[in-house]
Amino acid sequence: MRKYVLIGASAFVLGAGSMAYVSQEALASSKPRAQTYKMLELFGDVLDTVERQYVTQVDDRKLIEAAIDGMLNSLDPHSGYLNPDSFDDMRDQTRGEYGGLGIEVTSEDGVVKVISPMDDTPAHKAGVKAGDYITAVNGESVLGLSVNEAVKQMRGRPGEAVTLTIAREKTEPFDVKIVREVIKPRSATARVEGDYGYLRISAFNEKTTDEAQAALADLRAKNPKMKGLVLDLRNNPGGLLDQAVGVADLFLEGGEIVSQRGRDPRDIERYNARPGDAVGGLPMVVLINDGSASAAEIVAGALQDRKRAEVVGLTSFGKGSVQTVIPLRGGMDGALKLTTARYYTPSGRSIQQTGISPDLEVAESREQAQRIANRSFQFSEASFRNALNAEEGKKRIGAHEPAEAPPESFDAKDDFQLARAKDVLRYGSVAATPKLPKPAPKMAAVVAPKTAAAGVPPSEKK
């Protein structure tokens, strides 16, 4: 009996201690909560002042929506508020059919920036490129607008034209006239490339895994003696996580594909592959570049870590964060798009900011190789001032020796990165592939004028 009494007494003491701790914690947390209520009161005062004194009549709903969106945007570039119309647009886009131009955009310091144009869409055909800034739509400035507001101006009825004003590195701003279409991007297409197969995945929507599986089956039927496969994820802005997992699963026999980890260290969700390889274990090369983001990086990282494929191209965009869409009142009040976790490759690498580094770095042109050398206009997740931090202080690779680039004799109309991917398949590995001489870097330098005497600063020279 004494034993049970002691156990009961111990339980009581622990319980009392816990209650005391909770009480102290409640007192400690009441101060921040009181501050929160004070700031909410301040928000109400500001809204009231704007309503009464602004030079023209205001729309309360728009003001509050903008305030919510601004609050979320301050957290990181990918969190935001979707009003009911924007929420419907997002659902249309993930279903793989919607009206528009076919570009993935984000916002940086109030400027709309192109992450990537989608294959065979009006924007892609018009020459819009990753990293372009969109400064105006139909002559109306979009500077300072949220992404949702800017996108709303770009979308409209199919068949109608829209003019985008583009700012691009080393060029004067220029206008591009684009005719809107109903965007039905086929996210996965395939073709025969000599002895090899080529699978292009341009985005990850609800149809991607099924389309990729069908494209691979058709490819193997057309070329039963196929010796290897190139999976092209260049300029793929990402999309749905389950589709990234599905595509990676097509080529893996089992094991982890990706994990996502939230604020709580115990909050880990792992996604694993099932048995079965759609190409029967054939050698693979994955093509990536700085326009490959999010879901595309998950696939590339999984196949690289699991030694299923080697990666050729340029370091990917570095968007390694998970956004959860949280409907408000069932979507009647729109939804929150909130960053809730980070992605990790099977080896435990965080994709955030650093991206996926290729096994063989290959630039698509000599000009691009030069930009890598002097780091001129390297648009990536790390470019955003409020980007979620990379894990453990890791940093994205900066300016470095130029990557392989097309030799002078290479036909500019051909795809040099794809040619090198096929070389890797032909030789069996990156290590066995003969390396091409890299172009000499032309690093910008400031050279001080010579002085008459050592130790005398130029400004003091008489």
By residue range, what is the domain housing residue 206?
A: 188-427
Is 319 marked active-site?
A: yes
pLDDT at 153: 85
Instruction: Report CA dihedral (250, 256, 261, 265) to the nearest 10 degrees.
Output: 170
Catalytic position from the list 146, 294, 316, 380: 294
- Structure tokens that stand for 451 in this block: 């002085």
DSSP character string of 245-311:
HHHHHTT-SSEEEEEEE-SSTT-EEEEEEPS--TTTT--EEEEE-TT--THHHHHHHHHHHTTS-EE
Is 305 marked active-site?
A: yes
Crossing angle for the helix pair 60-73 and 2-53, to the nearest 10 degrees: 130
In a domain, 434, yes or no: no
Least confident of 5-19, 238-252, 311-325: 5-19
Catalytic position from the list 319, 359, 383, 423: 319
Is 442 marked active-site?
A: no
pLDDT at 307 over 50: yes
In a domain, 435, yes or no: no
Strands (DSSP E) found in 109-226: 111-117, 133-137, 140-141, 161-167, 174-179, 181-183, 188-193, 196-201
Helix (H) or strand (E) holding 125: helix 122-125
Crossing angle for the helix pair 295-305 and 241-249, to the nearest 10 degrees: 30
pLDDT at 277 over 50: yes
Catalytic position from the list 305, 321, 380, 383: 305
Q: Does 269 share its domain with 391?
A: yes
Model confidence at 21, pLDDT cuts 50, 70, 90, reads very low
Q: What is the mean pLDDT of residues 263-276?
A: 92
Q: Any long-range contacts for 456-460 (C-beta under 8 Å, 24+ apart)? A: none
Q: What is the mean pLDDT of residues 24-40?
A: 70
Closest CA to 324 of 309, 348, 341: 341
Q: Does 360 share its domain with 231?
A: yes
In a domain, 223, yes or no: yes
Number of structural domains (the chain) is 3
Q: What is the mean pLDDT of residues 292-307?
A: 97
pLDDT at 3 over 80: no
pTM: 0.72
In a domain, 407, yes or no: yes
Q: Does 316 share its domain with 360?
A: yes
Model confidence at 370, pLDDT cuts 50, 70, 90, reads confident
**2-16, 116-130, 338-352, 392-406: which has the highest mean pLDDT?**
338-352
pLDDT digits (tens, 9 = 90+) for 160-184: 899 999 999 888 999 999 999 887 7
pLDDT at 18 over 70: no
**Cα–Cα–Cα angle for 231, 234, 240, nearest 5°?**
80
pLDDT at 376: 54
Q: Does 44 share its domain with 160?
A: no
- CB under 8 Å to 371, separation ≥6 — which residues? 377, 378
pLDDT at 215 over 90: yes
Residue with tokens 């009142």: 329
CATH classification at residue 232: 3.90.226.10
pLDDT at 411 over 60: yes
Q: What is the mean pLDDT of residues 321-349?
A: 93
